[in-house]
């Protein structure tokens, strides 16, 4: 018996196109990762703040290059999609943004991001998140994007709010970090939520 409800995003929608580069306001470009970005990824993971909120550690540039290899392979498999956020003029990596846990049939995915310590406080994460979300809704056909952050991670909560991700509640003791279990705020942006623009410096 066929399913009554068609897939929201048809399988192959991502795999049948090149992973796009997406411009974001304020001279940013969201582009696929390159093996040459490995030193920047390694540098980002030496930051204690990033280490606090991230489950992985990078012990060497080679290890970071291996992650980039996995990130590049994820696109045609339509399970996750990973982009570098770069300065559109110099191509310098200023952050990372991803769609994770992609469920094309349900039209849903989860967003994740970090920025280089030297690039923080300039609205880079909200601008990248808004541009990627617009692409996911308007070009790829997603319906709902979720975002979770530890309730103690106030900077990430600000990114969510500034990017039009509405708070939906707290998932108790939902993520294990190096320092123990954390309550997680759930935010989401739905296709058709009011117009949203994170503008930047
Ligand atoms: C959370 C994070 C992605 C924000 O990126 P960003 O590009 O600095 O985003 P914004 O410039 O919009 O700043 C967000 C908030 O960070 C704080 N902030 C501002 N300047 C900052 C600085 N120089 N350094 C650190 N935090 C700063 C402020 O609270 C700001 O909110 P406000 O604009 O309402 O004042 C970044 O801090 C980061 O990578 N943190 C470590 C990894 C992480 O937490 N990832 C998210 C996991 S859910």
Q: Which domains are seen in the chain, by residue range?
A: 22-190 (3.40.630.30)
Distance CA 111, CA 195 (A): 19
Query: CB of 153 closer than 6 A to ligand 1?
Result: yes
187 lines ligand 1 (CB under 6 A): no
Per-residue burial over 97-131, b = 16 or more CB atoms within 10 Å of its CB, e = otherwise: bbbeebbbeebbbbbbbbbbeebbeebbbbbbbbb
Tokens representing residue 119 in the block: 């690039």
Confidence at residue 201, expressed as pLDDT on a 0 to 100 scale: 46
What pLDDT score does 159 carry? 98
Are 17 and 84 in contact, with CB atoms under 8 Å apart? no
C-alpha of 76 from chain center: 17
CA of 105 to the centre of ligand 1 (A): 32
* Residue 193 CB partners (closer than 8 Å, separation 6+): 164, 166
95 CA: nearest ligand 1 atom: 39
Low-confidence ranges of the chain (pLDDT < 70): 195-201
User: What beta strand segments (E) does 81-198 contain?
Assistant: 81-87, 93-103, 108-115, 144-150, 166-177, 180-190
Is there an atom of ligand 1 within 6 Å of 114 CB?
yes
Q: 107 C-alpha to center of ligand 1: Å?
A: 28
Residue 5 CA to ligand 1 center (angstroms) comes to 40
111 Cα to the center of ligand 1, angstroms: 15
């Amino acid at each position: 018996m066929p399913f009554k409800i068609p897939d929201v995003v048809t399988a192959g929608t991502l795999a049948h196109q090149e992973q796009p580069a997406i411009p974001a306001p304020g001279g940013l470009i969201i582009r696929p990762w390159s093996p040459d970005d490995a030193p920047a990824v390694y540098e980002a993971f030496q930051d204690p703040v990033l280490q606090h909120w991230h489950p992985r550690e990078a012990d060497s540039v080679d290890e970071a290059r291996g992650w980039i290899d996995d990130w590049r392979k994820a696109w045609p498999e339509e399970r996750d999609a990973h982009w570098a956020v770069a300065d559109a003029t110099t191509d310098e990596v200023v952050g990372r943004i991803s769609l994770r846990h992609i469920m094309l049939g349900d039209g849903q995915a989860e967003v994740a991001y970090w920025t280089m310590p030297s690039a923080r406080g300039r609205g880079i994460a909200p601008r990248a998140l808004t541009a990627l979300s617009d692409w996911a809704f308007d070009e790829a056909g997603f319906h709902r994007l979720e975002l979770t952050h530890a309730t103690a991670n106030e900077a990430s909560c600000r990114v969510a709010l500034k990017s039009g991700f509405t708070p939906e509640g707290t998932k108790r003791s939902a993520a294990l970090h190096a320092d123990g279990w954390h309550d997680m705020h759930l935010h989401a942006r739905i296709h058709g939520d009011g117009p949203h623009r994170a503008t930047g410096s």
